[in-house]
Chain A
Amino acid sequence: MWRGDPSINDYVDRWVAPRLLRDYGITLRTIDGQGPAIVNQLVVERDARARGSADLVWINGETFNNLRKEALLYGPWAHRLPAAKYVDSLSPIVMRDFEQPTNGFESPWGRVQFTLIYDSLRVPAPPRTIAELGRWIRANPGRFTHDQQFTGTTFLKSVLYAENGGARSFAGGFSEKRYTEGSERLWAWLEGVRPYFWRRGETYPASVADLHRLFANGEVDFTMSYNENEVITKVRQGVLPRTSRALVLRDGSIANAHFLGIPYNARNPAGAMVVANFLLSAAAQLEKLRPEVWADGTVLDVRKLPPELKVRFGAIDTDPRGIPRDTLRRYEVSEVAAEYTERIASDWKTRIRANPR
């Protein structure tokens, strides 16, 4: 798993691990690793016929896609978990990873939604749609940018949907024609506002962490996150200023889930399944949801839970900085085919990033 966020590390090391040991006799050891690196690692492990290193990997989207393509995942197994019956199986966000059905090869762990983050002191009346954002950027030159990685690409996708009448027009698999037409509007929008970006759009922060730093230090007035509650944890960690707030764009907030998979060469797949099941349990999902812990959305359908658990989920204090759950649901939009994301990311690099002027 990615070990960069101390809140997540805390949750896993200090809440999950002791309980796993106490209740199941499982010693949980976390290994540093993230997305694309996991795929490369497993490919080399397979080529070198080396023994497996991880039993459980934290993945989503393109990583899942690539792992499936290379047949590097053990499975199917996720549907067999006892806790799986409480999963929100009607939600396309949880049951499909970038439009690809999970088919039991990965077990859902949490769900998140894309939001912008702004400072209520600096921007008391923030824009609510992409169109308003465009106007705001032009009126405030040098105060907005996006990062080069997943979060930035999600922002670009949001613009793509907004400029093309919504995500629905991109649903149902990848279409070259739809991509070409749709992306033309995206590039047009970008070229229009680009001269008003931070550093005139000639350079971009490498990752969303760099963007957070720019925002916290007042170089830009917006940052963003694919997790709607990241603003809560980051303020608590002292990484973002206390007046930071999240906002959902009315054009739609892209939602996706993150999952757990078992590598084909896992040495202890049974143990991995027990861990995944525990992480899917109501208790673990509840703890994870708490703003003081991780504030990561649950993949469970709360209505399916027994009444006393239902109550506890409902009673979670929502932090004033966060966004009310019904607002989130109202604007939620699911991910479309992964190829759209890939194409936007690579075309952005060649069309926009490589041409600073």
Chain B
Amino acid sequence: MKRTRALPRVGLAVALAIGAILPLAFLVVLSVSAEWFYPALLPGQWTSANWNFLGRGSAVIFSSLGTSAALALSAGFASSIAGLFAGREIARLQGWRRRFAVALAFLPVAVPPLALSIGLQYSLLRSGMGGRFIGVLFAHIVPALGYTTLFFAGIFAVFDWRVEDEARSLGANRFDVLRRVTLPLLRRPLVEAFALGFLVSCAQVPLTLLIGQGLVNTLPLELMSYVSAGQDHLAATAGVILTIPPLALLIVAGLAVRRLRVVIA
């Protein structure tokens, strides 16, 4: 039976590969070209000017790249850990309390980014966190934490608590149980949650702009400037730069999964 299914599966794999690689290739071509107008299938001009431009104003680009990286890494880290604890507690609730808690946890995910930005702007600026890295980081953690909490709530909803109970019955205290039993089982979800928080941070535009008061410059912000200015080739360059870290993360996580699966099974 498996043999007859092989062909459609391979077909699906090929389709997915094309769907993933072609757009990326398109982006890369855009980033090294200019004057690409209808009906030309190939660009009118090949040039490294876009990469030069983004690299030249070195203070600007490296600071924005550095800021974006720092924000995303911190947000990913903080939201994955906090999300684990929050999700765990929520999953342990029963009945109406659990539904209420899940609905609450949905809020950061459900609120449109512009709404969240406008809403948070006043309070964060008032508390003096405006225009600072820490303020923007806090703002990024709000939606990221929503995603990671829901993610872990889902994981813990099907978590076999007996493992913890057994460990405790064998004499381990709460802390040890967490450290030696629960967390190792959650290594992969933790990586995934980190990636989730990282990606959420990378996607933030109005939040960074409004809370950062324009002082905190990130690459997504620059990307938006280029897109709205019609600078498609520059936008593609910034897009390629923004795509590389998450892509690397996904590939690494994808490869690491193999090993982990074997251990758990």
A22: min CB distance to chain B, Å: 16
Would A33 and B231 count as touching, CB distance under 8 A? no
* Other contacts beyond A50-B131, A238-B45: 10, CB < 8 A: A5-B229, A6-B53, A10-B57, A47-B122, A50-B213, A53-B213, A213-B232, A239-B230, A239-B231, A242-B35
Interface set, chain B 110-131, CB cutoff 8 A to A? 121-123, 125-126, 128, 130-131
A residues near B234, Cβ cutoff 8 Å: 6
A residues near B230, Cβ cutoff 8 Å: 207-210, 212-213, 239
Would B126 and A41 count as touching, CB distance under 8 A? no
A33: min CB distance to chain B, Å: 5
B62 at the interface (CB under 8 A from A): no
B239: min CB distance to chain A, Å: 15
Complex Cα distance, B230 from A47, in Å, reads: 34
Would B214 and A31 count as touching, CB distance under 8 A? yes
Q: How large is the interface on A (under 10, 10 to 19, 20 to 34, 35 or more residues)?
A: 35 or more
Q: How large is the interface on B (under 10, 10 to 19, 20 to 34, 35 or more residues)?
A: 35 or more
Complex Cα distance, B126 from A41, in Å, reads: 13
Interface set, chain A 238-266, CB cutoff 8 A to B? 238-239, 241-242
State the A residues within 8 Å of B (CB).
Answer: 2-6, 9-10, 13-14, 30-33, 37, 41, 44-45, 47-51, 53-54, 207-210, 212-213, 216-219, 237-239, 241-242
B residues near A51, Cβ cutoff 8 Å: 128, 130-131
Would A48 and B38 count as touching, CB distance under 8 A? no
B145 at the interface (CB under 8 A from A): no
State the B residues within 8 Å of A (CB).
Answer: 34-35, 37-39, 44-45, 47, 53, 56-57, 60, 121-123, 125-126, 128, 130-131, 209-210, 213-215, 217, 221-222, 225-226, 228-234
A residues near B60, Cβ cutoff 8 Å: 13, 30
Complex Cα distance, B56 from A289, in Å, reads: 23
A36: min CB distance to chain B, Å: 13
Would B213 and A13 count as touching, CB distance under 8 A? no
A90: min CB distance to chain B, Å: 34
B139: min CB distance to chain A, Å: 14
Q: A13-B60, A32-B217, A44-B122 are in contact. Are A4 and B226 (CB under 8 A)?
A: yes
Complex Cα distance, B222 from A204, in Å, reads: 25
Would B209 and A32 count as touching, CB distance under 8 A? yes
B residues near A3, Cβ cutoff 8 Å: 222, 225
A50: min CB distance to chain B, Å: 4
Would B215 and A4 count as touching, CB distance under 8 A? no
B residues near A208, Cβ cutoff 8 Å: 230
Partner of B228, one of A30, A49, A209, A241: A209
A136: min CB distance to chain B, Å: 21
Would B233 and A53 count as touching, CB distance under 8 A? no
Complex Cα distance, B222 from A32, in Å, reads: 8
Residue picked from B128, B215, B229, B231, most chain A C-beta under 10 Å: B229
